[in-house]
Structure 1
Amino acid sequence: MDFNKINDQLTVSGQILPSEVTILAKKGFKTLICNRPDEEVEAALQSVEIEKAAQSAGLNFVYLPIYPGQFTEVEISQLSSAIENLDGPIYAYCRSGTRSCTLWALTQAGILDAEDIIAQAANGGYDLRGMAAYLAGK
């Protein structure tokens, strides 16, 4: 289980196991977001299983699947709403953490300076420099 901290509000990682969810609660996370589509994983790792573990651990859970390269305004809006309305800190995961980090970056476009978004992503080990022009122009 990785802890790729983007900022005080968000940490991202690759796929987690249901048995690891209690670790998140012990570390103080309040919300768990699954950005990995169920079609990508076996039944034991699908969102319903992670959600059960999250509920047992007292965490909010959001299933917000992101298909590779398919970031829409709907998902961006849904993550913005989750960040705004659910308790943090938030732990989000997908296959590698890249989709979770990228979706967060898209929620910040037009709010934060593009270089700040890129720097925060880099703190977590994600290189979003290729998105600089888009993040600056949104």
Structure 2
Amino acid sequence: MTIRQIDNNFAVTGQIRADQVPELAAAGYAAILCARPDNEDPGQPSFAEIALAAEQAGLSVVHIPISGPATPEQIARFQAAMADLPGPVLGYCRSGGRAANLYATLAK
């Protein structure tokens, strides 16, 4: 897992596994935001698996699955989630790109 820090409150990475969530909690993340739809690739961990691991580690978790450009509704959900989630937040998708693009909408 390669984490790219966007700012003090948000970082992105590619797909994570449930067994990595305790490591993320130990690193100081308070929330996980998944921008990846389930079943995008064979063998990909489901959001439910990640959410269960996050809950067990005491992290907040949000799922805003995106395929293609984010819709206004997805952007609004992301912005509302970021206003409510404790930080710092780790966003993930297949490569981290969609999560980073969502975060860029906060500056607009």
TM-score class, shorter-chain normalisation, is over 0.9
Partner of 1:24: 24
TM-score by length of 2: 0.94
Q: Please give the secondary structure, in 2, of the residue aligned with 1:62.
A: strand
- Rounded to whole Å, the distance in 2 between the matches of 1:31 and 1:43 is 24
Identity of aligned residues (%): 37
AA paired with 2:27?
A: K
Partner of 1:98: 97
Assess if the C-alpha contact under 8 Å between 2:38 and 2:44 holds in 1: no
State the shift of 1:83 in Å.
1.1
Partner of 1:89: 88
Partner of 1:8: 8
Name which one, 1 or 2, has greater alpha-carbon Rg: 1
RMSD: 1.2
Structure 1 stretches lacking a partner, 5+ long: 110-138
- Rounded to whole Å, the distance in 1 between the matches of 2:42 and 2:18 is 12
- Point out the structure with the larger helix share: 1
- Rounded to whole Å, the distance in 1 between the matches of 2:9 and 2:50 is 21
Higher mean C-alpha deviation, range 40-49 or range 84-93: 40-49
State the shift of 1:108 in Å.
1.9
- Rounded to whole Å, the distance in 1 between the matches of 2:101 and 2:44 is 26
Matches within 5 A, 1:73-84: 73-84=72-83
Assess if the C-alpha contact under 8 Å between 1:77 and 1:107 holds in 2: no
TM-score by length of 1: 0.74
AA paired with 1:101?
A: A
AA paired with 1:102?
A: N
Structure 2 stretches lacking a partner, 5+ long: none
AA paired with 1:28?
A: G
Partner of 1:62: 62
Partner of 2:48: 48
- Point out the structure with the larger strand share: 2
